[in-house]
Amino acid sequence: MQTDTPLLEVSDLRISFRINKKDSIETVKGISFSIPRNCTVALVGESGSGKSVSSLAIMGLLPPDTSQIGNGSRILFEGRKLLELSTEQRRQLCGKDMSMIFQEPMSSLNPVFTVGFQIAEVLQLHMGMNAKQARKRAIALLEEVGIPEPEHKIDAYPSQMSGGQQQRVMIAMAIACEPKLLIADEPTTALDVTIQKQIIELIHKLRVKHQMSVLFITHDLALVGEIADQVIVMRHGEIRETGTTQQIFHHPADSYTQALLHCRPSLDKRPWRLPVIADFIENDNTLPEQRERQRGLHGSEDIVLDVRGLSKSFFTREGLFGKKEFKAVDDVSFQLARGKTLGVVGESGSGKTTVGLTLMRLHRASSGQAMFDGKNILAMPDKDFLPYKRRIQIIFQNPYASLNPRFTIGQILMEPMQIHQIGGNDGQRAALAVQLLDKVGLPATAFYRYPHEFSGGQRQRIAIARCLAMKPEVLICDESVSALDVSVQAQVLNLLQDLQEEFGLSYIFISHDLAVVKYIADQVMVMNRGKVVELANADDLYHQPQHAYTRTLLSAIPRGLASAVSMPSSAVSI
């Protein structure tokens, strides 16, 4: 095999899915690309662009009953025609020479087996190792991917590991047989910036060490600049643009690529409104000049929520009668100004989500006060707190999990109105629900549809509409845009800002995305291990961070080519 030939060649790939007995929809529309040896190629696009479906076709993981690959499609791996191989041949090839890291490690790892068993299973199946050899190799792999105390962690279950550690286990499984091609499908989407940076650096280090190629799938162009040699941009099942990373970042030719680069919040500017894909394409690839949005507190603002010494502990059993205390939130104090946004940032386990849930009384506080309208809402009986539920609402990270799949959108919006006796009758409530849908940019016909019929961004808008039905004064946004594409994220952030201006809402905006927090927050509170380590106006904190942990977080923000790893470049074959 000549080393200058591509490792993988995809030619005229077409993929269709059946939507009923008669009809089907084409999701990938004749794309062609190649992956050179010892190279990282990024496949970029929004949800629904076809990038993950294309990777599943390469791995032979498409559902056979509902999907179909076009007759003229070809996928060559080292010259072998993958689409002509038997199921057993594909299984052997994909387990050993090609492997894949999936987006959500907790749903990919078997919760009833230890991580060591799952890694060893791969080695025994594809490498012919016995149990002792496989365990020894599994420990070495865990050490290679940066898992602390691998001799002990090998016997841990997935639920006993953090999200970042779970993803490292998935990487260890993927590289166990030293594959020639590693496909990473959104491997860092829901991870903190520090863990995200570690995973990116780990994948790059492993690629260089094992001389493999990587197909890195993402919707975040900032990450692309950190890891990729070449970039393929997809939209609506078609390839819009390809080129080296330098070309894509500095001289993007396609309007969609240019739009993707402009949608993500910048650390340098804060435009009055974030541009979305349609804004850029409809204005001939140009954006109108916008005035800067000023953020920050002056000290004379009216305080709507005053939190003092908030603590929350969880207890686990230790021994026969003992118990061990874990302080998730430890003596946290802050004030939320009316009509302003407090950003709360920190790594997983820092306590930021627990703060939000405790303020909503979804967790019972161990100690502390939360003064709202002159009363401590944490100490009052449940009956007395009921009227305050209307005034403090929360938007959860996963809108699909927080929306009842058996209810129509109308029922979802009307249920809290009925509980809190908003509106004289169901007719008035239905009319108000339609008004709320219009307020968040959804048509009146959405009233009769179900959550699964909407995209992630639309479901998040429905969750916001449900909160607005209560006419709240404080809205807690818990990672409410973290899993959204950059354009949909921009739409939701613009909506939140519009609603804040119209209704004077106060936000507690919890996020691990520091660029988003910089854009939307007036004040930023940095948490680490349950404690507040820094609290300052957004611009001051980002320009002059005082705490070492804050500086660590800021240094981990992906900045595209500004901090890209130095890698060789080659041309993309199309």
Residue 382: how many other CB atoms lie within 10 Å: 8
State the pLDDT at residue 333: 97
State the pLDDT at residue 563: 41
In a domain, 561, yes or no: no
Number of domains the chain contains = 4
Residues 48, 64 within the same domain: yes
Q: Which of 260, 341, 346, 199 minimizes the C-alpha distance to 47?
A: 260
State the 10-residue block means of pLDDT for the chain, 574 residues long: 78 92 90 95 88 92 90 94 92 87 79 94 91 94 88 89 81 90 84 81 90 91 87 94 92 88 82 83 69 88 96 84 87 96 89 93 95 93 90 84 91 93 92 91 91 81 89 90 78 89 93 89 94 95 93 82 40 39
**Euclidean distance between CA atoms 431 and 48, whole angstroms:** 32
> Helices H, strands E: what count in the chain?
22, 21
Burial 158-190 (b: 16+ CB within 10 A, else e): beebebbbbbbbbbbbbbbbebbbbbbbbbbbb
**Euclidean distance between CA atoms 452 and 449, whole angstroms:** 9
In a domain, 151, yes or no: yes
Residues 87, 6 within the same domain: yes
Residues 3, 27 within the same domain: yes
CA torsion through residues 192, 196, 197, 199, sign = positive
State the pLDDT at residue 536: 95
How much is the pTM? 0.80
Residues 303, 382 within the same domain: yes
Which of 413, 435, 469 terminates a domain? The answer is 469
Enter the tokens of residue 86: 């038997």
Q: Which residues neighbour 400 within 8 Å (Cβ) at sequence distance 6 or greater?
A: 451, 452, 456, 459
When computed from its CA atoms, the radius of gyration of the chain, rounded to whole angstroms, is: 25
* CATH number, position 359: 3.40.50.300
In a domain, 39, yes or no: yes
Cβ atoms of 77 and 89 closer than 8 Å:
no
In a domain, 332, yes or no: yes
Domain of residue 465 covers 400-469
Residues 59, 123 within the same domain: no
Residues 495, 535 within the same domain: yes
State the pLDDT at residue 414: 95
Which of 123, 147, 178 terminates a domain? The answer is 178
State the pLDDT at residue 10: 96
The amino acid sitting at 266 is S
**Euclidean distance between CA atoms 516 and 528, whole angstroms:** 19
State the pLDDT at residue 562: 46
Residues 205, 240 within the same domain: yes
Which of 178, 205, 235 terminates a domain? The answer is 178
Residues 87, 20 within the same domain: yes
In a domain, 574, yes or no: no
Residues 86, 3 within the same domain: yes
State the pLDDT at residue 567: 36
State the pLDDT at residue 317: 77
Beta strands in 137-274 (DSSP E): 181-185, 213-218, 230-235, 238-244
State the pLDDT at residue 564: 40
Residues 194, 80 within the same domain: yes
**Euclidean distance between CA atoms 418 and 432, whole angstroms:** 12
Q: Which residues neighbour 284 within 8 Å (Cβ) at sequence distance 6 or greater?
A: none
Cβ atoms of 371 and 380 closer than 8 Å:
no
**Helical H segments across 63-155, by residue range:** 87-96, 105-108, 115-127, 131-144, 150-153
Q: Which residues neighbour 40 within 8 Å (Cβ) at sequence distance 6 or greater?
A: 204, 207, 213, 214, 216, 227, 228, 229, 230, 567
In a domain, 567, yes or no: no
In a domain, 221, yes or no: yes
Residues 419, 359 within the same domain: no
Residues 496, 360 within the same domain: yes
State the pLDDT at residue 3: 55
In a domain, 448, yes or no: yes
**Euclidean distance between CA atoms 39 and 133, whole angstroms:** 31
